[in-house]
A and B are shown apart, each in its own frame.
Chain A
Amino acid sequence: MKLRKVGAIAGIGVLVLAGCNQGGTSGGTKGTINIGIELPQQGSELAGTQPEINAIKLAVKDSGGTVGGWKIEIPNSVILDDAKDGVHDPQTGAQNMQALASNANVIAVIGPQNSSVAKVQIPISNAAGLLQCSAANTNEGLTKPQFGALDIRKTNPTKINYVRVVTTDDYQGPAAARYILQNLKLKTVYIIDSTDTFGKGIADNFQKYFTDNGGTVVARDGAPKTTTDYTALLTAAKSKNPASIYFGGVTADGGARILKTAIQLGLNVPFVGPDGIFDGSAKTKDSFLNLAGDDAKNSYATAAAVGDYPGRADFTAKYKAEFQTDPTGYSATAYSCAQVVLDALKRVGPTATDVKDLREKVRAAAVDTSVTYTSVIGSFKFDENGDTSQKIISFYTYDPATQDWAFKEQLDFAK
């Protein structure tokens, strides 16, 4: 009852001020449009997604705010949270996508973070012809027909609307496996994954390549992110004498905790992980290196991005200047997604007649396979399924002198 009264007063208040905030024309532009952001923003997921939101807003700011004749705004009403009870929730994600799709001013959406949410959102955005760019989804089944992607873009199977700037798991996992076998010259590994879509997916791909190429997996365990005690697991693993450890997951899933326990038990072997642990130097709060400290001295990380490119340093400096912290997690890829949207907008903005026309034009322009994008994660094109052409995996190792990841080499997996 009390809440309803608040709602009533609130509603009246919004009604009064609603007029001030309509997407009307202002100062010589063709109109105001929105870029939607759809990410989980509760609990531990917020740590990963807040940098993305910051990066997207930074990208819009860097573009000047008006692109292709259209003014871009990202009000709070199009930044939607798909978390429920602290965890990303596909149903909420679907609802949010419905909301964004029916908002005529939204011409593109950046998100989601989790592949399970993307799986329910793509049918909706595909039917609505709304461009969706993900900075973090890595599951193959979202785009590749041979993994079931056609089942989720049933309405318009050939009118691609979902793109992503990150390489799928089927490259990063094998890259790490190859590194262990060929560069580190080790034959056995213990795999531990976080049991969620990303962690398990990449560990599966790792395992397949590793065993197909002569390696032996001594044991494999799945430990969800809520695990606190890894001693029993690692004691059992140690008894099997693995020469290396592969961790499938992100830092928040326990990468540093696992490493610490392993070292404590005397399992001092190379520790390899995906870009989930490649999240900043030892000075970055909550990063893998920060939590692991000296234990990280024998750690390696892969990143699904070009290692040394000019854009990265610039981006880091700009981000730091704007937000006073290091850009962590998926901030660079989120910035790239924003760059994709803005680039498409620049190309078709002038010729679009209204927001509805603009939405379709932006989609078609963004997924155009002939366009090469130059972004803060390097240059890439989209293929006919919306996947990035960039299949470069970079390898990093921990450098105690700088207390940061040091670039070792990169491999191009484009076949």
Chain B
Amino acid sequence: MSGRLANIGGPGFTSFRSRVRDIAETHRSLTIIVAMAIVGLLLPILATVPPFSIFQPQDVWLNGFSNAGVFVLLALGLNIVVGLAGLLDLGYAAFFAIGAYAYAYGASPFSGIHAPFIAMLLIGALVAATFGVLLGAPTLRLRGDYLAIVTLGFGEIVPIVFLNAEKYTEGTNGIGGIYPPDIPFVEFGILNPWPFYGLVIVLVAIVMVFIYRLQESRIGRAWMAIREDELAAASNGLNTVTTKLLAFALGASTAGFAGVFNAAKLTLVSPDQFLSTVSFSILAMVVLGGMGNIWGVALGAFVIYTIQIVLLKQLNAFFGELHVPILQDINFVQYQFLLYGLALVLMMLFRPEGLFPSQRRKRELHAADAGEAEASAVAALDESIT
């Protein structure tokens, strides 16, 4: 943000910019809300402008944005666990599933209950957090990669349970006919993408502010200390287990939150929506976006989702319309995986810190080479104590 742009507009403008920047930095929550509001207003406008309007109409774009928003929420949640606290979670979709099924139990013809949406948002988050604690309590003391396999295992177990426990979950058919959100004064029709879009913008903003607040608080600094050097953090009196458990629970609750919204929008929950490939996708979004950086992760999720769902699928249509000689005959649909895999590998080779790394992460990455790891660990420790 600084640097080259700082001098545009002359001295008067520069001082205005620096004043704005000061205000933004002191009132970060407000900045986030304002920024999300701007994004929320800009995206629909962007969807009506070529080249986006050529790909698909605005309605469809908005629907896509809402779905992308779910993954933004998921990436933000996983970021707490992986990016902020440094815990490797390979089965994050399990909590997504738990939140979604919780809403299905609370608001569908299957269960016969119709609880209000906003209450279910909190309940879903809470249920997911509970499972996060149940899983985390016995396992968070495991070494990093052992925790990874445990979370991976949990991510496998949960869909299998939902699949096989038919009497309670309708098994492979899933629970359908789930009621849409019932927020007063807003009508959530199935063909109308605007209310869902607005709702997801609000939810993302809320979660971002919440995470930002956490990050800057003592807990956030404790997470940072654990991430940098767990042994040192522990020997300074930090209760590593509780701190890690909190990260786990909060990450799980965010996934539960997203699950409730997703279930309400899709009107169906079924086990095949929550397989381990989803967990890997979200992990890729967090890493590619820039672990630790809230905006980076959100943007990474948005970009990857749009590429996976819009771009890669439309390549056939796109090259066909352009009548590009060789490319138009290739059936890109079957190469989707190959291209996605290549993209992942290339991204990691050329920019392993992600598209928008947090400044801290960048320092870590390059400090590791130069042996300054200890210096930054000590600095983190200082910050967590004060």
- Stretch of B117-125, B132-140, B188-196 at the chain-chain interface: B188-196
Q: Which residues of A contact B311 (CB under 8 A)?
A: 3, 7
Q: What 1/0 mask marks residues of chain A from 30 to 43 whose CB sits below 8 Å from any chain B CB?
A: 00000000000111
| Given A84-B309, A90-B268, A196-B172, CB of A7 within 8 Å of CB of B334 | no
- Given A76-B320, A119-B176, A148-B109: A89 touches B54 (CB 8 Å cut-off): no
- B324 closest partner in A (C-beta): A13
Min CB distance B278 to A, Å, is 7
Verify A127–B190 contact, CB threshold 8 A. yes
Pull 15 A–B residue pairs with CB atoms less than 8 Å apart, ordered by A: A10-B51, A10-B318, A15-B51, A17-B323, A18-B54, A46-B333, A77-B317, A86-B337, A87-B277, A90-B266, A98-B193, A102-B59, A141-B176, A151-B109, A222-B164
Residue picked from B50, B190, B311, most chain A C-beta under 10 Å: B190
Chain A contacts with B in 40-99, Cβ cutoff 8 A = 41-43, 46, 75-77, 79-81, 84-92, 94-95, 98-99
Cβ-defined contact, B174 with A46, below 8 A: no
Contact with B along A236-263 (1 / 0, CB 8 A): 0000000000000000000000000000
- Interfacial chain B residues near A290, Cβ < 8 Å: none
- Are B174 and A42 in touch, CB under 8 angstroms? no
Contacts A3-B303, A86-B337, A91-B262 known; 13 new A-B pairs at CB < 8 A: A11-B51, A15-B51, A42-B333, A76-B317, A81-B333, A85-B278, A86-B277, A89-B273, A95-B63, A102-B191, A115-B173, A123-B190, A151-B176
Taken together as a complex, chains A and B put the C-alpha atoms of A233 and B11 apart, in Å, by: 79
B270 is an interface residue with CB less than 8 A from chain A: yes
C-beta contact mask, A194-221 vs B, less than 8 Å → 1, else 0?
0111001100000000000000000000
The answer to whether A13 and B322 touch (CB under 8 A), given A85-B281, A123-B267, A222-B164, is yes
Residues 61-99 of chain B: 1 if any A CB is under 8 Å from the residue's CB, otherwise 0? 001100100000000000000000000000000000000
How long is the Cα–Cα vector from A18 to B191 in the complex, in angstroms? 26
The answer to whether the Cβ of B369 comes within 8 Å of any Cβ in the partner chain is no
A155–B50 Cα distance when bound, in Å, is: 33
B51 near A141: Cβ-Cβ < 8 Å: no
Cβ A41 vs Cβ B55 within 8 A: no
Contact status of A14 and B54, CB under 8 A, knowing A76-B320, A81-B333: yes
A116-B172, A200-B172 as given contacts; A102 in contact with B60, CB under 8 Å: yes
Query: Hey, which chain A residues are within 8 Å of B55, CB to CB?
Result: 11, 14
Please report the C-alpha to C-alpha distance between residue A77 and residue B172 in the assembled complex, in whole angstroms. Answer: 31
* Interface pair A91/B59, CB less than 8 Å apart: no
